[in-house]
């Protein structure tokens, strides 16, 4: 064992020594979610001082517009007297805090809404309690009470574990993590006989995320049974792309990092397979709406006038506000790479930003 190995790397090496090379999804799950040494156990990932910045950390406008989206969905549902307002992977709670503040504009919504933050990291749950004291916490969606639900998931699915399959020597082989000359290293497992396209060029890579599809199926089942809506915003290719190519990446202090260096010390993500998510949701009976981009969605929800209003109220910050608007929505920034997937109960109308002409 290398003398410089941290505690999580030591655990990973021990598991490899006992059980053989480790699948990528197991490696990601340990690096991100280990309760003591995992990346999210630290609670220091977000913002300029962390390793990456999500849309809610860029500008309050993102959460505000999604809060108004939720309020309008509730109205379109017939304004039920109780609705679960849930967020998966809420980070430090910034988006939910902004959403609740903006949603006050629709009378009755906050009286009906029951906020829930679904988070596995105890450190992040502590931060969320400070940001959104009115919200209740859960470790899994299954722990959130049943009933009509409006669910948000921003940059949640990209951090769920994936498996990678590489075409080599005319056969598919699964990418694994092993130890070579004292260091963690990539390797390939034995040829696989089933479950993947029968032919592909050598070097082709496919990614699959059973964890993502399981959560998507759970969302679809709840919408089909209880009604409501879900909005997933994340980055990845639009259908018909289905998990092709190597999209695994690690970030440390806003710069690319080696995923195998310092396990637990960097964010590890992969592009979201929206076709797989959509299929898992629809298979449970929920209604899907055409995929759109983050830029198009925010534009339809009123990003430009909101930015103009904020700039007028704070002329000293106008340049920053317009820069934030562009970062969220410009095609060459987050606007095109980030997609928005919406699903509803089977009989519900299209949610805001997903209807005809929007």
- Mind listing the pLDDT tens digit for each residue in 50-85? 566 899 999 999 999 999 999 999 999 999 999 999
Q: What integer best gives the mean pLDDT of the chain?
A: 93
> For the whole model, what pTM was predicted?
0.94
pLDDT value of position 46:
60
Tell me how many domains the chain contains.
2
**352 in any annotated domain:** no
Q: What pLDDT, in 10s, does the model give residues 105-124? A: 999 999 999 999 999 989 89
**152 in any annotated domain:** yes
**121 in any annotated domain:** yes
pLDDT above 80: residue 97:
yes
Give residue 3's pLDDT band: very low, low, confident or very high (50, 70, 90).
very low
Q: What pLDDT, in 10s, does the model give residues 10-55? A: 999 999 999 999 999 999 999 999 999 999 887 666 655 556 689 9
Measure Cα distances from 101 to 130, 134, 247 in Å: 15, 12, 36
Are 59 and 321 in contact by the 8 Å Cβ rule? The answer is yes
Q: What pLDDT, in 10s, does the model give residues 250-260? A: 998 879 999 99
What three-state secondary structure class fits 54? Answer: coil
Q: What one-character DSSP code corresponds to residue 46?
A: B
pLDDT value of position 254:
78
Give residue 4's pLDDT band: very low, low, confident or very high (50, 70, 90).
low
How far apart CA 287 and CA 59 sit, in angstroms, is 30
Neighbours of 73 (CB within 10 A): 24
Q: Are residues 100 and 193 in the same domain?
A: no
Q: What pLDDT, in 10s, does the model give residues 157-199? A: 999 999 999 999 999 999 999 999 999 999 999 999 777 888 8
**The domain that contains 277 carries what CATH number?**
3.40.50.150
Burial (0-12, 13-18, 19+ Cβ within 10 Å), 55: buried
Average pLDDT, stretch 140-154?
98
Higher-confidence residue of 240 and 330: namely: 330
pLDDT value of position 242:
74
How far apart CA 205 and CA 97 sit, in angstroms, is 39
Q: Are residues 222 and 102 in the same domain?
A: yes
Q: Are residues 118 and 263 in the same domain?
A: no
**186 in any annotated domain:** yes
Q: Are residues 145 and 248 in the same domain?
A: no
> H or E stretch including 83?
strand 83-88
Note down the domain range covering 309. 55-158+218-236+272-346
Q: Are residues 150 and 119 in the same domain?
A: yes
Q: Are residues 89 and 140 in the same domain?
A: yes
Taking the CA atoms of 178, 180, 184 and 188 in sequence, report the sign of the dihedral they define. Answer: negative
Average pLDDT, stretch 117-137?
94
Closest CA to 228 of 30, 19, 85, 42: 85
The string of DSSP letters for 104-171 reads: TTSTTHHHHEEEEEE---HHHHHHHHHH-TT-EEESSGGGSPPSSEEEEEES-GGGS--EEEEEETTE
How far apart CA 23 and CA 228 sit, in angstroms, is 36
């Amino acid at each position: 064992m290398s003398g410089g190995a941290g505690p999580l790397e030591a655990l990973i090496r021990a598991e490899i020594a006992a059980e053989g090379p480790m699948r990528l999804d197991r490696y990601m799950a340990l690096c991100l979610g280990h309760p003591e040494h995992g990346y999210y156990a630290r609670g220091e990932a977000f913002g300029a001082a962390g390793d990456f910045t999500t849309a809610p950390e860029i500008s309050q406008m993102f959460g505000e517009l999604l809060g108004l989206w939720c309020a309008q969905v509730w109205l379109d549902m017939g304004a039920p007297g109780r609705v679960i307002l849930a967020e998966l992977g809420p980070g430090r709670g910034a988006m939910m805090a902004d959403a609740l503040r903006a949603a006050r504009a629709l009378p009755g919504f906050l009286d009906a809404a029951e906020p829930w933050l679904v988070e596995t990291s105890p450190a992040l749950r502590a931060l969320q309690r400070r940001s959104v004291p009115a919200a209740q916490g859960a470790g899994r969606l299954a722990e959130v009470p049943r009933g009509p639900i409006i669910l948000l998931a921003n940059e949640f699915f990209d951090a769920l574990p994936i498996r990678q399959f590489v075409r080599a020597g005319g056969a598919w082989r699964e990418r694994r993590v092993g130890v070579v000359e004292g260091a963690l290293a990539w390797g390939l497992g034995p040829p696989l006989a089933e479950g993947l396209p029968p032919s592909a060029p050598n070097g082709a890579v496919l990614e699959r995320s059973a964890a993502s599809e399981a959560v998507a199926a759970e969302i679809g089942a709840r919408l089909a049974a209880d009604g409501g809506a879900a909005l997933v915003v994340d980055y990845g290719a639009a259908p018909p792309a289905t998990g092709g190519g190597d999209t695994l990446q690690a970030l440390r202090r806003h710069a690319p990092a080696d995923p195998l260096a310092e396990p637990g010390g960097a964010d590890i993500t992969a592009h979201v397979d929206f076709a797989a998510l959509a299929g898992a949701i629809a298979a449970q009976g929920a209604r899907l709406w055409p995929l759109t981009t983050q830029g198009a969605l925010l534009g339809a929800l009123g990003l430009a006038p909101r930015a103009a209003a904020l700039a007028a109220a704070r002329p000293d910050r106008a340049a920053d506000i317009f820069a934030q608007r562009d970062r969220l929505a410009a095609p060459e920034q987050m606007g095109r790479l980030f997609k928005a997937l919406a699903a509803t109960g089977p009989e519900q109308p299209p949610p805001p930003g997903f209807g005809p002409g929007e």
